């Protein structure tokens, strides 16, 4: 049978291991972030512009399709 002292010691060890693994995770994350090659301001601006333009083009395309189908349904139902 396990004594309460043994249980407490195991809990303390488990807590220390969890704390070390959290610290290890954070330190590894910081280490990986230092390896990242971040885009320059010019690259970030260019890519952001592309995303905005493509989003607007997709929105307009979907709007045109929606209006077209709405008109088609209205013509079919309201003969």
Domain span at residue 73 reads 39-79
Q: What is the pLDDT along the chain (79 residues), one digit of tens a residue?
A: 556 666 665 565 555 556 677 788 889 999 999 999 999 999 999 999 999 999 999 999 999 999 999 999 999 998 7
Q: How many domains does the chain have?
A: 2
Q: Are 51 and 69 in the same domain?
A: yes
Q: Are 52 and 16 in the same domain?
A: no
Q: Are 23 and 44 in the same domain?
A: no
Q: Are 27 and 8 in the same domain?
A: yes
CA distance 67 to 72: 9
| pLDDT number for residue 16 | 59
pTM over 0.85: no
| pLDDT number for residue 73 | 94
CA distance 25 to 17: 12
Q: Are 29 and 45 in the same domain?
A: no
Residue 46 CA, chain-centre distance (Å), reads: 21
CA distance 72 to 79: 11
Q: Are 27 and 43 in the same domain?
A: no
Q: Are 43 and 62 in the same domain?
A: yes
| pLDDT number for residue 79 | 72
CA distance 37 to 12: 40
CA distance 18 to 26: 12
């Amino acid at each position: 049978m396990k004594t309460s002292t043994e249980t407490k010691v195991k809990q303390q060890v488990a807590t220390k291991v969890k704390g070390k693994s959290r610290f290890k995770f954070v330190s590894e994350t910081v280490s990986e972030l230092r390896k990242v090659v971040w885009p320059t301001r010019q690259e970030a601006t260019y890519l952001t512009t592309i995303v905005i333009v493509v989003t607007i083009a997709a929105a307009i395309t979907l709007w045109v399709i929606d209006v077209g189908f709405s008109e088609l349904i209205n013509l079919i139902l309201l003969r």
